[in-house]
Structure 1
Amino acid sequence: MTDTPSLISPILTTNLASERPPLMLGIMASGSGSNFVAVARAIDRGNLNAKIAVLVHNKSDIAAIDRAREREIPTVLLDHREYRTRAALDRAIVSTFEAYQVECVVMAGWMRMITQVLIDAFPGRLINIHPSLLPSFRGLHAIEQALSARVKITGCTVHVVTLEVDAGPILIQSAVPVLADDTAATLHARVQIQEHLILPEAIAILARC
């Protein structure tokens, strides 16, 4: 079996030259920031008509911070432990994004539940990337779920965020074969390659709307 991935939704052409101003992005991250870098590189190449206005993070020691600062992109720490409720945290996130004139929000490894407060602030423009072919394997540990189910194909999905976890409208997906000798680490690495491809494409869909 080949491990060459296939796209489930058609990829848009990457010639995104447009008279429109760049779509202002706010990115939310809790980890390494590899998807953040994928978006930034797509912008650098001229394949995505967007600008990362700010990175919001909820941990002070993650690699995503350094990756943003290397590109002189503002970073804002909103530590979830300092807020009494999820709604209060989301109100702070909304206020931050409004201050940076954000038009579209990308949850790129944001490991916190969100509330209707954030969803309502960016209707149809709050998106998430998830490491499975939704609607299969929603929630945490999607890679491990796929391995436990012994499926032959998994992948990744970018979807519009709704209050129900990983259940919003799908923008784009990419399939990744599951190999006989895959571990969680090896499968995750191949899925992540596809995440880095389809996330900029999903943003491009919104930029063209």
Structure 2
Amino acid sequence: MKIAIFASGNGSNFEAIAQAVEKQDIQAEIAVLFCDQKSAFVLERAAKYQVPTVSFSPKDFSSKVDYENEIKRMMHGFDVELIVLAGYMRIVGLTLLEAFPKKIINLHPSLLPSFPGLHGIQDAFDYGVKVSGITIHYIDEGVDTGPIIAQVPTEITAEDTLESLEEKIHQLEHYWYPKVLGEIIQKESYSYVKKSVN
């Protein structure tokens, strides 16, 4: 299976996935990395793994539809079957959703439906919850509202700081996102909910 990874920033989750592909824990080829930020560090990570990259911004286009139509054209050019969001900081619109129905997967750093949006880790920490975690889900037209594939919890202790919670969450992401993606690709279907993974 050919997959595309979409990212906007540092790319640590891209690297975790690329390593899993290299070790054949994920039976897929990363056909392309798409990045909407032309100076993002993830582009350097992709070069290290010899993954083709394409980078352009919505600002280069007159509308979001035009922007996503160009992404769609590019995805078809690379024969992409599955899109994996790994720190892609934009809301995916109907143009891509309709072109890849139930074929776009996202990772969110909270236990959805709690704490959706850009600041899931900080919002959970500030609210004072005792448990947070990660959610892997298909995306729909909402913000972090698509069908849940898997959720993995982690305890927030009295000793935790925002920084230590961020580190816990990142460790979960780097282990579980590649693992779950590998299962999805192997089965080509992974629609049930895992509320907890041990």
Judge same fold: TM > 0.5, yes or no. yes
Which structure is higher in RCO with an 8 Å CA cutoff and minimum separation 6? 1
1:134 pairs with 2:77: no
TM-score, normalising length from structure 2? 0.90
TM-score (normalised: structure 1) = 0.86
Q: Does 1:192 align with 2:170?
A: yes
Distance (whole Å) between structure 2 residues aligned to residue 136 and residue 111 of structure 1? 18
C-alpha distance in 2, partners of 1:84/1:205?
A: 39
CA–CA distance in structure 1, aligned partners of residues 126 and 28 of structure 2: 38
Structure 1 residue ranges without an equivalent (≥5): 1-22
The equivalent residue for 2:33 is 55
Structure-1 residue corresponding to 2:195: none
SS where residue 123 of structure 1 aligns? coil
8 Å contact kept, 1:173–1:198: no
* Partner AA of 2:24 in structure 1: G
Are positions 1:106 and 2:84 aligned together? yes
What is the identity, as a one-letter code, of the residue corresponding to 2:143? V
SS in 1 for 2:72: helix
User: % of aligned pairs identical?
Assistant: 35
Task: Give, in whole Å, the separation in 2 of the partners of 1:114 and 1:43.
Answer: 25
Matched, 1:94 2:72: yes
The one-character-per-residue Cα deviations of 1:154-176 (angstroms, maximum 9, x if unpaired) are: 00111001001101111111111
Compare 68-77 and 171-180 and name the one that shifted more: 171-180
Quick one: which amino acid aligns to residue 32 of structure 2?
V
Q: Distance in 2 between matches of 1:88 and 1:51?
A: 27
Number of aligned residue pairs: give it: 187
Root-mean-square deviation over aligned CA pairs: 1.1
The one-letter amino acid paired with 1:163 is E
Match of 1:120 among 98, 102, 109: 98
Contact 2:38 2:56 in 1 (8 A): no
Q: Deviations over 1:54-89 (max 9, x none)?
A: 000011111100110111111001212112222221
